[in-house]
């Protein structure tokens, strides 16, 4: 629920999914996060209260989400890991491909990356994970892939291995898995088959590696627009980029930034 300018991060991520053409959203939350459900609740009373306070833009944003997508919730009773959280979606997903968006990674790209990944699955039939290059010193914060050749002009690479948070010296490449995945429902049987991995948790990465061995998997390499709002620097960068794009704040904010330029080191 951390606000970035005027929207909680979870809403930015929901709007990204909608921009990529997704109209059914399941938010997997913990028992302590009821405030998130209230945020997406289209209760008449809540809207009337916001409207009475003059918060018309907020009311409109929530209504727009309600008219473009169904937002559902499920609770992960115990924090048993990301793979376990994703497996909570099994019944809801049924037998269609689906996307997983980790909301501490926000994308400022109008849904472009996710749309590209959805299109890639439609063409290849294989699950797709988002990949971004990082220096070796940072790779141990992420899932990391071994991959086939990178072809000029194509964002897609074939993945030949996935490992969760390897030490720099053990990392198979400099491509790290970012919090966007477009998966076939076959992932669920693999998540159920795995034992707890790194940190004693059921790791999505381990389930993905089994899925890759069975069905193959693609990586979608991108470089721009991703911010980890759990990191202070990235939170600031995301705030500035979103402020510049903001229809009301943007022009004045750009002038303000320009006025600071002479003071930059
Ligand atoms: C999770 C995944 C990791 C991935 C990362 C992306 O890690 O387990 O593979 O690279 O998200 O943000 P977490 O950030 O939950 O530690």
Q: Is the pLDDT of residue 63 over 80?
A: no
The secondary structure of 223-241 as a DSSP string is: -SSEEETTSHHHHHHHHHH
Is 13 a domain residue?
yes
Candidate from 105, 132, 139, 143 with most ligand 1 atoms within 8 A of CB, to mutate? 143
Is 256 a domain residue?
no
What is the extent of the structural domain holding 161? 3-239
- Work out the number of other CB atoms within 10 angstroms of the CB of residue 94: 9
Is 255 a domain residue?
no
* Main-chain phi, psi angles of 39, to 5 degrees: -60, -40
Mean pLDDT of 167-181: 98
For ligand 1, whether the C-beta of 47 sits within 6 Å is no
Token representation of residue 108: 């400022």
CA angle, residues 60, 66, 70, in degrees to nearest 5? 165
Q: What percent of the chain has pLDDT over 90?
A: 80
For ligand 1, whether the C-beta of 209 sits within 6 Å is no
CA of 48 to the centre of ligand 1 (A): 39
Rounded Cα–Cα distance for residues 97 and 95 (Å): 7
Mean pLDDT of 136-152: 96
Q: Output the residue whose Cα is nearest ligand 1's atom 15.
A: 82
Strand partners, 70: 24
CA of 177 to the centre of ligand 1 (A): 7
Q: Is the pLDDT of residue 257 over 70?
A: yes
Mean pLDDT of 98-125: 97
Residue 120 φ/ψ region, left for φ over 0, alpha for ψ in the -120 to 50 degree band, beta for the rest: alpha
Which of 21-30, 40-49, 102-111, 124-133 has the least mean pLDDT? 40-49
Q: What percent of the chain has pLDDT over 70?
A: 98
Rounded Cα–Cα distance for residues 221 and 246 (Å): 27
Is 248 a domain residue?
no
Alpha-carbon torsion 120, 185, 28, 36, what sign?
A: positive
Segment holding 116, helix H or strand E: helix 112-124
Is 265 a domain residue?
no
Q: Tell me the average pLDDT of the chain.
A: 93
pLDDT at residue 42 in the model? 63
11 — pLDDT class (breaks 50, 70, 90): very high
pLDDT at residue 61 in the model? 75
Q: Is the pLDDT of residue 94 over 80?
A: yes
Q: Is the pLDDT of residue 156 over 70?
A: yes
Rounded Cα–Cα distance for residues 212 and 159 (Å): 8
Q: Is the pLDDT of residue 214 over 80?
A: yes
pLDDT at residue 43 in the model? 61
CA of 53 to the centre of ligand 1 (A): 39
CA of 133 to the centre of ligand 1 (A): 14
Which of 65-74, 117-126, 151-160 has the least mean pLDDT? 65-74
In the chain, the number of structural domains is 1
Write the pLDDT tens digit of every residue in 217-249: 999 999 999 999 999 999 999 999 999 999 999
Mean pLDDT of 84-108: 97
Domain of 118, CATH number, reads: 3.90.550.10
Is 247 a domain residue?
no
For ligand 1, whether the C-beta of 102 sits within 6 Å is yes
Q: Is the pLDDT of residue 29 over 70?
A: yes
Q: Is the pLDDT of residue 107 over 90?
A: yes
CA of 215 to the centre of ligand 1 (A): 22
For ligand 1, whether the C-beta of 134 sits within 6 Å is no
Is 63 a domain residue?
yes
Mean pLDDT of 26-30: 93
For ligand 1, whether the C-beta of 181 sits within 6 Å is no
Q: What is the dihedral of CA 90, 78, 127, 186, to 10 degrees?
A: -40
pTM for the model stands at: 0.92
pLDDT at residue 77 in the model? 86
Token representation of residue 137: 């010193």
Is 257 a domain residue?
no
54 — pLDDT class (breaks 50, 70, 90): confident
Rounded Cα–Cα distance for residues 138 and 171 (Å): 11
Q: Output the residue whose Cα is nearest ligand 1's atom 11.
A: 179
Q: Output the residue whose Cα is nearest ligand 1's atom 7.
A: 142
44 — pLDDT class (breaks 50, 70, 90): low
Mean pLDDT of 145-163: 96
């Amino acid at each position: 629920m951390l606000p970035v300018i005027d929207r909680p991060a979870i809403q930015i991520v929901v709007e990204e999914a909608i921009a990529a053409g997704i109209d059914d959203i399941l938010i997997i939350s913990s028992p302590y996060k009821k405030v998130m459900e209230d945020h997406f609740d289209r209760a008449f009373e809540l809207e009337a209260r916001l409207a009475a306070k003059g918060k018309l833009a907020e009311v409109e944003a929530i209504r727009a989400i309600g008219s473009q997508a169904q937002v559902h919730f499920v609770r992960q009773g115990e924090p048993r890991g990301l793979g376990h959280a994703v497996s909570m979606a099994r019944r809801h997903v049924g037998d269609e491909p689906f996307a997983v968006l980790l909301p501490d990674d926000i994308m400022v790209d109008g849904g472009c990356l996710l749309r590209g990944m959805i299109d890639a699955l439609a063409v290849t039939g294989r699950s797709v994970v988002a990949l971004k290059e990082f220096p070796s010193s940072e790779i141990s914060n992420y899932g990391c892939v071994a991959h086939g050749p990178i072809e000029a002009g194509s964002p897609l690479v074939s993945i030949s291995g996935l490992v969760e948070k390897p030490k720099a010296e053990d990392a198979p490449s400099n491509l790290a898995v970012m919090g966007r995945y477009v998966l076939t429902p076959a992932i669920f049987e693999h998540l159920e088959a795995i034992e707890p991995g790194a940190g004693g948790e059921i790791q999505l990465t381990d389930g993905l590696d089994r899925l890759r061995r069975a069905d193959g998997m693609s990586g979608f390499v991108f470089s721009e627009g991703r911010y980890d709002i759990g990191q202070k620097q990235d939170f600031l960068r995301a705030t500035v980029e979103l402020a510049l794009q903001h229809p009301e704040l943007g022009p004045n904010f750009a002038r303000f930034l320009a006025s600071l330029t002479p003071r930059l080191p």
